Amino acid sequence: MEPQQPHTPLPYQPQDPNNPYQFIMEPPKKQKLTGGGLSGNPFIIKIIFFVGAAVALIIVAGIAINIFFAPKTNVDDIVGIAQTEQEIIRIATLGHSASATSIQDAAISTQLAVTTQQQSWLTFLATYGKKISAKDINLKKNVATDNQLTQAKATSSFDGTYKTILRTQLEAYQVMLKDAADNAGTAKEKATLLAHYNQVQLLLQQLPEN
């Protein structure tokens, strides 16, 4: 019995269309691998790119609109107004020491009007989540004013000194309201500031000059 000869693979032969069994004699061809999934699909990549760009554009546009067109309310300005009102209210309560009835009446009118104005701003600030403590609302209290009025009592010049102080306070407050109205973020805020400005003008007219 003859020993078996080692098997030698046949050399690759071109495909013969007349030999249907040639594939049995040939080694299998390696399939060329192509990328799969999202990373291998150019169409999907383009869609992801355009969607990402659109989202980025929307975010940028939203920020720009918020910066340039959204109504702005300077809460700190309104807080400052409320503090100024508190000092005017405090000074107005001291008007009962005046000897002239006209000064007393002007002080009472000032107290009532400015207290109402202050309440509207405190409500306004509450809508922005801002609550002013009793300590903060009195930060503009001026002790020098009290000393000046105490000295005026001692020298029998209270009425004239009080009128000057109250008028100066109201005039400064009026300027503050006008500046805030010029920089108001909404039409409603501006209208309220101007209404208060006009009310202060009437208070100044009621306060006797002599």
Question: What DSSP line would sit under 163-188, residue for residue?
Answer: HHHHHHHHHHHHHHHHHHHHT-SSHH
Q: What is the pLDDT of residue 33?
A: 47
Q: Over range 36-57, report the average pLDDT.
A: 57
Say whether both 63 and 114 belong to one domain.
no
Say whether both 182 and 131 belong to one domain.
yes
Residue 82 contacts residue 121 (beta carbons within 8 Å) = yes
Say whether both 197 and 94 belong to one domain.
yes
Q: Over range 76-90, report the average pLDDT.
A: 96
Range of the domain at 54: 41-70
Lowest mean pLDDT among 34-38, 55-59, 97-101: 34-38
Say whether both 66 and 129 belong to one domain.
no
Whether 164 shows a pLDDT value over 50: the answer reads yes
Say whether both 47 and 145 belong to one domain.
no
**Domain end among 49, 70, 91:** 70
Q: What is the pLDDT of residue 64?
A: 40
**What's the structural domain count of the chain?**
2
CA dihedral over 168, 169, 173, 174, signed as positive or negative: negative
Say whether both 47 and 120 belong to one domain.
no
Residue 117 CB: number of other CB atoms within 10 A? 23
CATH number at residue 128: 1.20.1260.10
Output helix, strand, coil percentages for the chain, rounded to the nearest 5.
65, 0, 35
Q: Over range 42-70, report the average pLDDT.
A: 51
Residue 74 contacts residue 185 (beta carbons within 8 Å) = yes
Say whether both 111 and 135 belong to one domain.
yes
Q: pTM of the prediction?
A: 0.66
Whether 20 shows a pLDDT value over 70: the answer reads no
The predicted-structure confidence for 123-163, as pLDDT tens digits, reads as follows: 999 998 999 999 999 999 999 999 999 999 999 999 999 99
| Burial of 108 from C-beta contacts in 10 A (0-12 / 13-18 / 19+) | middle
46 belongs to a structural domain: yes
Distance (Å) of CA 105 to CA 1, 97, 100, 101, 181: 141, 12, 9, 6, 28
Q: What are phi and psi of 53, to 5 degrees?
A: -65, -40
Say whether both 46 and 121 belong to one domain.
no
Q: What is the pLDDT of residue 17?
A: 56
Average pLDDT value for the chain? 80
Say whether both 130 and 144 belong to one domain.
yes
> To 10 degrees, the CA torsion angle through 166, 167, 173, 176?
-150
Q: What percent of the chain has pLDDT over 90?
A: 59
More confident site: 169 or 30: 169
